[in-house]
Amino acid sequence: MTQDLLTRPAGEPAPPARTGLLLRVLPPGLYAGRARMLVERSLLVNRRMWLVVFTGFFEPLFFLLALGQGLGALVGGVTGPGGESLTYAEFVAPGLLAASAMNGAVYDATFNIFFKLRYAKLYDAVLATPLGPMDVAIGEVTWALLRGGLYSAGFLAIMLGMGLVGSAWALLALPAALLVAFAFAAVGMAATTWLRSWQDFEYVQLVLLPMFLFSTTFYPLSVYPGPLRVAVEAFPLYHAIELMRGLTTGAVHWGVLGHAAYFVVLAVLGVAVAARRLGRLLLR
């Protein structure tokens, strides 16, 4: 160790002390505690982010106008999670909020990461530095979540502007959306490590589309007969929608924490699997 200090050129920072929780738990080859450098890279690459925010602002607006105002005029009222009566726009908005957090995160974590992994060879270059696969997984998932989070913030602002927020609990919808985005990004990135070609992205669509349509986004769970309800309750997006709908309508109960815990578990598993798979693919 003394020799190590002697041979390091003057001014070179010492390797970070392994004090953080993750740093103590994980082997040094896996995680150098510098995941933020990948976020820095993404920020540099996406300096024209305002365009993304701009389109991200209009997409939910169009959805809300078409479904909430347009279709909502035909549907009339819906019974909310707390038994209260909601307009259809109030009902569908949190569902779309959850879906947009999911879509934003999953698209970034699948398409973009697949390209960087298989074609740009970005992670090969990164792993030649002191960074490890866990830095890559956390850094890239964090970026996907920031992006998903921006969409969600825009969406919430529109909901507020259209008078679709019924409770101060809605303030928590933004951190909740970040958590949902993190979990979906992590699982998306893990899944991406198994994809072999662009054709395989059909599988991603195959999972996302039914989840978007059937996870009580557009109508309550009571529409389904008993056995189907259980199936729908297994969808991750269902939990995200329950979480959002509870918060924006003010129907908050302990179960909301359960939904949040579901995403914490999903996020941790996703990052762990993604890092492990990256290591297996690139550090052979």
Query: In 10 A of CB 244, how many CB atoms?
Result: 29
Retrieve residue 32's tokens. Answer: 């150098």
8-state DSSP, 17: P
Least distance in angstroms from the C-beta of 156 to other proteins: 30
Is residue 275 close enough to count as binding other proteins by CB under 8 A? no
CB 39 within 8 A of CB 146: yes
Is residue 144 close enough to count as binding other proteins by CB under 8 A? no
Least distance in angstroms from the C-beta of 190 to other proteins: 21
Least distance in angstroms from the C-beta of 171 to other proteins: 34
Is residue 122 close enough to count as binding other proteins by CB under 8 A? yes
* CA 196 and chain centroid, separation: 22
Buried b / exposed e along 75-93 (16+ C-beta atoms within 10 A): beebebbeeeebbbbbbbb
If the CB atoms of residues 43 and 66 are measured against other proteins, the closer one turns out to be 43
Q: Is the Cα torsion angle 212, 252, 180, 43 positive or negative in sign? A: positive
- Paired strand residues for 78: 86
What angle (nearest 5°) sits at the alpha carbon of residue 270, between those of residues 260 and 151? 60
Q: Which of 109, 61, 111, 110 is nearest to 89 (CA)?
A: 61
The type of residue at 228 is L
Q: Cα separation of 232 and 224, whole Å?
A: 9
Position among 22, 34, 78, 167 found at the interface with other proteins (CB under 8 A): 34
If the CB atoms of residues 130 and 255 are measured against other proteins, the closer one turns out to be 130
- Look up tokens 């569908």; give the residue: 92
Size, binding site for other proteins by CB under 8 A: 35
Is residue 4 close enough to count as binding other proteins by CB under 8 A? yes
Retrieve residue 82's tokens. Answer: 């707390």
Is residue 2 close enough to count as binding other proteins by CB under 8 A? yes
Is residue 22 close enough to count as binding other proteins by CB under 8 A? no
Q: Which of 184, 100, 102, 101 is nearest to 141 (CA)?
A: 184
Position among 75, 82, 118, 130 found at the interface with other proteins (CB under 8 A): 130
Least distance in angstroms from the C-beta of 147 to other proteins: 15
Position among 20, 25, 29, 253 found at the interface with other proteins (CB under 8 A): 29
Least distance in angstroms from the C-beta of 132 to other proteins: 6
Least distance in angstroms from the C-beta of 100 to other proteins: 25
Taking CB under 8 A as the criterion, which residues in 38-97 touch other proteins? 40-41, 44-45
If the CB atoms of residues 127 and 260 are measured against other proteins, the closer one turns out to be 127
Least distance in angstroms from the C-beta of 284 to other proteins: 6
- Cα–Cα distance list, 171 to 41, 57, 246 (Å): 30, 18, 12
Q: Which residues bind other proteins (CB under 8 A)?
A: 2-4, 7-9, 11-13, 15-16, 28-29, 32, 34, 37, 40-41, 44-45, 120-122, 124-132, 282-284
